[in-house]
Amino acid sequence: MKTKNEKVLIDGLDKIILRALMLDARKSINEIAKSAGISGAAVHQRLKKLEGCGLISGSQIILNPKILGFTTVAFIGIYLDKAVRNPEAVKQLEKIPEVIECHYTTGHWSVLIKIICEDNEHLMSLLNHKIQAIEGVSRTETFISLNQQIKRQVQL
């Protein structure tokens, strides 16, 4: 791994290690070392460097929201009456547990959020009582996801 103009350049060995962990973050260092043909200590050292430079920002368990009863996914474009209201609006959005992503965007909306809901009734309630009640929100535009067709990470 090298850096060039703050961009991290990874080599073939780094890619082998990263691809293995992207497929299964629980894979042991020894398993990765064996498939890469290097020692466990070398894998561990490379992982520490990749974490240190910020390329690896953590590992996580990914829950299936449908199993928990969240069957509706929606994207909501939020129009703010003034751009300076963004920080406070985001603080209020953070308090809504169904908001799972929030993006400051260019274009028509000030903010684009992704939310998960139990059903359309739950979505309507969130819109009417929580999201549109935030000070500075002038209106919203909602898109319901019928099916997520692609989900992936950056390719190595």
Residue 69 sits in the same domain as residue 21: no
Residue 129 sits in the same domain as residue 77: yes
DSSP string, 55-97: S---------GGGGT--EEEEEEEEESSGGGHHHHHHHHHT-T
CA dihedral sign, ordered 38, 40, 43, 45? negative
Residue 76 sits in the same domain as residue 129: yes
Query: Which residues in 1-156 belong to E strands, given as ranges?
Result: 2-4, 7-9, 72-80, 99-104, 111-117, 137-145
Indicate whether 103 belongs to any domain: yes
Q: Are 127 and 77 in contact (CB under 8 A)?
A: no
For residue range 109-118, list pLDDT tens digits in order.
Answer: 999 999 999 9
How many distinct structural domains can be found in the chain?
A: 2
3-state secondary structure (DSSP) of residue 29: helix
Residue 15 sits in the same domain as residue 83: no
Indicate whether 58 belongs to any domain: no
Indicate whether 69 belongs to any domain: yes
Residue 40 sits in the same domain as residue 70: no
CATH number at residue 132: 3.30.70.920
Indicate whether 57 belongs to any domain: no
pTM of the model: 0.85
Confidence bin at 9 (pLDDT 50/70/90): confident
Question: What CA dihedral angle connects 50, 56, 59 and 60, to 10 degrees?
Answer: 180
Indicate whether 156 belongs to any domain: no
For residue range 59-111, list pLDDT tens digits in order.
Answer: 888 899 999 999 999 999 999 999 999 999 999 999 999 999 999 999 999 99
CA 71 to mean position of chain CA atoms: 19
3-state secondary structure (DSSP) of residue 109: coil
Domain with 17, as residue range(s), is 2-52
**pLDDT for residue 51:** 93
Task: Pull the structure tokens for residue 115.
Answer: 């939310």
